[in-house]
Structure 1
């Protein structure tokens, strides 16, 4: 399954049909979503029943996890529902939520098929904005409050209330808890990044207009479901966590918030332990903890983009490269020694000619696209025939 290509939702429906009873209840689903990072807004993995052909980017994992969470939330409503009825329901839900701004061009390209239009809606929920340049330069590109969609959808299924108003309430409480948790503890270098990440993910409220004076605390008592309260607590635990320090376990603020939410001390300790274990296992995969300079951020982001393009077009590239033995020889040479200026120009010209024949690689032929060629050349060896690569070690 390729979440970056059209038809991925239908493919998900085909794969999930043998796993309808994967979770016995909503609590099991929540525990799994927390384990893979979706609850924390940091998607480090996906459900085991999905086996992608290529390594997935963080945004692709977020797409799969959001759809998984929504689908199995719907399954809790009735064990006899069909995937097509789920698509209709979730599409109507997002329409009522106001997440239905598909451009006229996209409507023409996707047609009237529900799953195709839903792919565009979900994509609009995943990214913080639609600015391609911003995505390329920013290593944090995915919405970190996606679980609010799931909680709102559950409320919508059970009570048929206005989903937008409920989403606004959930966002308001969540962002207030984040800000007040940050102010309750000693600041560290990652706090600003975490706050920026969550604030950038807001959809239904304006953080510049809403007040964060602590009055939200009175709204916590008996106004939300136990599952919503668990989410608020986990977000607070995520925010108070400090570089694997033991001090977070003694946070008076967390236990005070937990008390307001009506959560027992034992569950609060479990939530604190869960976030500590998650960070300990996945620190290297968490974007906002990386402190690279701008140059390194750019290089890392570009490498991910180019790597994804190579993987997605590997068969076409192999075919095109096989027809240009001189280019393959020069690319192979570039992996072990520097090319002359004349050879570099020859490689660039021939590569751009190949990219013109593969539409999804058009990024390379845009103005400034040549800056990506060194990254492409570094990542390309695995595609080259072994006869042209004397230093290849087969794994």
Structure 2
């Protein structure tokens, strides 16, 4: 790999998408710290005169204006979850396959690398393309760069079809589950633990909440031909004052992944129904998205890249495009099971196959 200084990065878009992935991953860009990588992307595209460049905070939009009959939006986020000893990147071979190992290789700088390379090289695509690289995807929806961009420049989202480069093993994943987070609170009465009968233990009152979650049987729901798996789980619990105090409050943090045939309002009603008598506070809610595979452009895309579409279990920004009336799918290199993992790694062959497929579809 050529010498690369992550403190003063210069992205070379003439290099392979695999090497470009390595360069991107070696620039730390944990959510909230995307300025350096955003600057590097803008600088790398400076000579791409076929692209109109728009920057909104640390979100970069690059689009062709060729007067084509149709426009495709292709997007990817540039932030990662926190680094945990997995940067800088390295190559490793497992079972005869070559991987690029490190934070962001799967989620989702390999997809961003493919997109950047194609954005620079495809000067005459068969559709107009709006490329988007955005910040703050790994945190709350209110901080998401696309939330801000939709508020400031909604016109940039116009398109007939959208592709999110989220990891999908370089196969097509349609739509996505919705995502709800709720805080379930119970209250009691504080007292000295030596005279516990004087108080009312709030933590003990959380037991029925945990029993409900443990016994819950999540649905498997077919939506437009794809089967989505739901999930309802406790992801955190807080309570307690001191080792000698009966606690007067406890909070169970619950995450609900719901199939895209259920609206956010219906998902909230379902959670509230499960926990009657508790203080239920919805702290984050993102709608799901139906598969979006019935659009003609989507059908041609599926034919071009081959394989059979699968459902996306995790939430992605395809839901944002779906809400705007733009059918959207996930398509990017990397195994979703390795996203956020300490041993996060992507098959080099998947980076290459993703680039080939997108290039062929956009130039056929």
In the superposition, the TM-score normalised over structure 2's length comes to 0.31
Instruction: Name whichever structure is richer in strand by fraction.
Output: 2
Point out which structure has higher relative CO (alpha carbons under 8 A, 6+ apart): 2
Instruction: Name whichever structure is richer in helix by fraction.
Output: 1
In the superposition, the TM-score normalised over structure 1's length comes to 0.29
